[in-house]
């Protein structure tokens, strides 16, 4: 699908995406907050060559040291002053040989810099221009500031999160920033690349976190409007049910319980010795069931409960911290976490099996790109840009 066909890492150094289905796709990623780099990381994880465009000062400060940041893994990086005419001209030359641009500015900023979609498609009509914002490129809120918590609030998502009787509780910034934003942007880029195969032309991807967050809650939004989903914290999947919640253990740890199906619930009762509990089908019994389960789990350590439930279908799991998760036998067996520059990071996902490439390749830390000739900027031009302080 690449404009230029397959190619090797032009730097001759470590870096570049892992082998995968996106090999041959070139991506220019304009530096921004985590959701944008997350989208670029996903593309790099599956073979795209991602060149991150950062501030000159940031790249000079980092030097040539590999950057183990998870959001930057598998990427190449340069510094470019996009507020200078020389920097803008250089970016356009890079875009002429790219397949994708990822931009995360407020609406109108890229156009003012001279690197908006129309500016770049004038030099590359096949370019896919991926834009991610909180509110989208249009609408009354498009030019206002916001964060994940604001986007999921307006999407109707935040109102559904939290325990009964408590205020809405955001699940850090996963739903708006990463799932509704970065993940949707990566998905949109792939859609646009697929469409380009038919039309021969690139398009603009307008990925808005408010849109993405709303889409993620499609099932719950429909259920709420149909009267099938009650106030937050009172439903089967939002800690309203005692068989779908977390419980403290004797050593200060926690276990997660997801025994929804009757057979799994019966196994939960057998393993905890609570076979005399009242019927869970009557919601009036839920407080009593929760109380008994809480007392039972508090009587043993998390490790003891792990041994009791090992290999069972009771759907009881230990609540692990990040370090423990990387060492867990299941995750270790699957290679769910990999070492990138001495840092444990989640491995690329999802996996494509039987496609003739190794989707379990370990990404390399981000690496500074020195030789831009394969990207259309000759060494003498790059030298002049560096001397002018435009390129690093």
Verify whether residue 330 is a known catalytic residue: no
Pairwise CA distance, residues 20 & 48, whole Å: 8
H or E element at residue 325: helix 322-327
Distances (CA, A) of 333 to 55, 326, 362: 40, 10, 15
For residue 286, report the phi and psi dihedrals to the nearest 5 degrees. Answer: -55, -45
Contact 52, 37 (CB under 8 A): yes
Task: Spell out the residues 6+ positions from residue 78 whose beta carbon is closer than 8 angstroms to its own.
Answer: 51, 52, 53, 54, 59, 368, 369, 372, 391, 392
| Secondary structure of residue 266 in the 3-state scheme | helix
Pairwise CA distance, residues 79 & 127, whole Å: 22
Catalytic residue among 7, 147, 328, 357: 147
Contact 209, 177 (CB under 8 A): yes
Contact 184, 211 (CB under 8 A): yes
Catalytic residue among 54, 99, 148, 177: 177
Verify whether residue 7 is a known catalytic residue: no
Number of other CB atoms surrounding residue 130 within 10 Å: 30
Q: State the catalytic residues.
A: 147, 177
């Amino acid at each position: 699908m690449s404009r230029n066909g397959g190619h090797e890492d032009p730097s001759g150094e470590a870096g570049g995406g892992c082998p995968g289905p996106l090999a041959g796709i070139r991506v220019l990623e304009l530096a921004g907050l985590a959701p944008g780099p997350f989208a670029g990381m996903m593309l790099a994880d599956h073979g795209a060559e991602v060149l991150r465009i950062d501030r000159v000062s940031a790249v000079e400060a980092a030097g040539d040291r590999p950057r183990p940041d998870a959001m930057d893994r598998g990427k190449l990086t340069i510094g470019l002053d996009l507020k200078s005419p020389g920097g803008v001209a250089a970016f356009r030359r890079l875009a002429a040989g790219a397949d994708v641009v990822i931009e995360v500015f407020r609406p109108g900023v890229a156009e003012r810099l001279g690197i908006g979609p129309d500016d770049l498609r004038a030099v590359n009509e096949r370019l896919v221009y991926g834009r991610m914002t909180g509110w989208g490129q249009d609408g009354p809120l498009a030019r206002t500031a916001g964060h994940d918590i604001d986007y999921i609030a307006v999407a109707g998502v935040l109102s559904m999160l939290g325990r009964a009787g408590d205020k809405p509780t955001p699940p850090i910034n996963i739903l708006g920033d990463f799932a509704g934003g970065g993940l949707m942007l990566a998905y949109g880029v792939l859609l646009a690349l697929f469409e380009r195969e038919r039309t021969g032309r690139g398009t603009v991807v307008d990925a808005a976190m408010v849109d993405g967050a709303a889409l993620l809650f499609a099932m719950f939004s429909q259920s709420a409007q149909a009267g099938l989903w009650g106030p937050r914290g009172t439903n089967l999947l939002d800690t309203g049910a005692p068989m779908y919640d977390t419980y403290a253990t004797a050593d200060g740890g926690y276990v997660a319980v997801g025994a929804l199906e009757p057979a799994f619930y019966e196994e939960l009762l057998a393993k905890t010795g609570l076979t005399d509990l009242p019927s869970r089908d009557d919601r009036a019994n839920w407080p009593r069931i929760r109380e008994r389960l809480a007392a039972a789990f508090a009587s043993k350590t998390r490790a003891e409960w792990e041994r009791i439930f090992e290999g069972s279908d009771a759907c009881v799991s230990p609540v692990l911290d990040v370090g423990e998760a990387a060492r867990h036998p299941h995750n270790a067996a699957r290679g769910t976490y990999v070492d990138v520059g001495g840092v444990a990071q989640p491995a690329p996902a999802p996996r494509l099996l039987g496609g003739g490439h190794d989707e379990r390749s370990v990404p390399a830390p981000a690496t500074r790109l020195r030789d831009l000739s394969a990207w259309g900027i000759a060494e003498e031009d790059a030298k002049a840009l560096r001397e002018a302080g435009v390129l690093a």
